[in-house]
């Protein structure tokens, strides 16, 4: 038996001469929880800055959602984007306007795999699947992984579109 949940987020990032439209869909497909509680173990700042209705403070992400948020942030970060941490990033923005062929797909998969292995110690068994849309203007990226403290299989899906 598997549990499923999904949330869709849309954001727009602009580069110096190009625009990157990111349609992010986060999916969780996993085995029924084995009883291990990750809720208090991992936490991360929600970059959507959603305030708590009563406390008026930003609601932090906890557990699996915190790890998924960190993965999404690492994938969407370009090199030299973070001050004093110029080597963190996957450089997807530069590959987005390359021809949609096998070489570009492999470069995207390798870049994502490398950035996650080097910078996200909480996950293991990383599998990256990249697909191209029919009109070759969108990449569908699925990152399948497991969190070290849990036996559940997690999935993060990101759709990258070229906007001219």
Q: Are 22 and 160 in contact (CB under 8 A)?
A: yes
Cα-based distances in Å from 149 to 2, 36, 67, 90 = 18, 8, 11, 25
Give yes or no for residue 156 having a pLDDT over 80.
yes
The mean pLDDT of the chain is 75
Q: Are 75 and 130 in contact (CB under 8 A)?
A: no
Strands 138-147 and 153-163: antiparallel
Distance CA 77, CA 100 (A): 21
Strands (E), the chain: 2-14, 19-31, 43-44, 61-62, 123-132, 138-147, 153-163
pLDDT confidence of 64, banded at 50, 70, 90?
Answer: confident
pLDDT confidence of 43, banded at 50, 70, 90?
Answer: low
pLDDT confidence of 48, banded at 50, 70, 90?
Answer: low
C-alpha of 112 from chain center: 9
Query: Max Cα separation, the chain?
Result: 50
Q: What is the mean pLDDT of residues 13-34?
A: 39
Give yes or no for residue 21 having a pLDDT over 80.
no
- CATH topology for 2-163 is Nuclear Transport Factor 2; Chain: A, (3.10.450)
Distance CA 24, CA 57 (A): 24
Hey, where are the domains in the chain? 2-163
Using a cut of 0.95, tell me whether the model's pTM lies above it: no
Helix (H, G, I), strand (E, B) or coil at 48: coil
């Amino acid at each position: 038996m598997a549990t499923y949940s999904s949330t869709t987020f849309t954001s727009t990032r602009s580069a110096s001469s190009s625009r990157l439209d990111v349609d992010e869909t986060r999916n969780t497909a996993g085995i029924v929880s084995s009883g291990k509680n990750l809720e208090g173990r991992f936490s991360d700042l929600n970059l959507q800055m959603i305030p708590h209705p009563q406390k008026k403070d930003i609601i932090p992400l906890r557990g699996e959602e915190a790890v998924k948020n960190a993965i999404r942030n690492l994938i969407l970060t370009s090199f030299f984007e973070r001050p004093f941490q110029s080597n963190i990033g996957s450089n997807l923005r530069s590959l987005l306007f390359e021809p949609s062929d096998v070489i570009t797909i492999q470069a995207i998969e390798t870049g994502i795999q490398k950035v996650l292995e080097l910078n996200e110690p909480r996950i293991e068994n990383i599998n990256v699947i990249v697909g191209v849309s029919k009109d070759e203007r969108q990449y569908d990226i699925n990152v399948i992984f497991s969190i070290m403290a849990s036996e559940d299989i997690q999935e993060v899906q990101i759709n990258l579109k070229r906007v001219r």
